[in-house]
Amino acid sequence: MDKAEARIPVRIKLSALWASVMFCYIYGDYFWLYMPGKLAEMLAGKMPPFGPVTQGVLLTTTILMTIPSLMIFLSLVLRRAPNRWLNIVLGAVYSLFVLATMPGAWAFYLFLGAVDIALTSAIVWYAWSWPAQAAA
């Protein structure tokens, strides 16, 4: 491997990690629909663990999923200092968020959750260890 291949910029790593996180979220939500009774709950207007579907529940869920989507782009364009701290904070928050949703989950969700936690932990690590000279 040549030196250029060995040195992938931190911004690219962070962006790729957020993109990977989003794919895991999408697949987890998609496969969740195949669990017995889930479509019936949706048709009845229920969204576990939140209960009845309301505009507020859907807006909150939308915001929670929009943040990682935006981080794919923001990781590439923000200046180093805010970029670094935003990735550290949001990576940690989303690790905790996924961890909180795992108790009682099916095996596919536990697997995707473990992958998500590994990815968001890597986001925190790369942002934390981002060298200052990389900002130039």
Record the tokens describing residue 54, joined without a space.
Answer: 């309301």
- pLDDT at residue number 135: 47
Q: What is the dihedral angle through the alpha carbons of 82, 60, 97, 122, rounded to the nearest 10 degrees?
A: -40
- pLDDT at residue number 91: 98
Residues (pLDDT < 70) of the chain are: 1-6, 134-136
What is the value of pTM for the model shown?
0.89
- pLDDT at residue number 4: 59
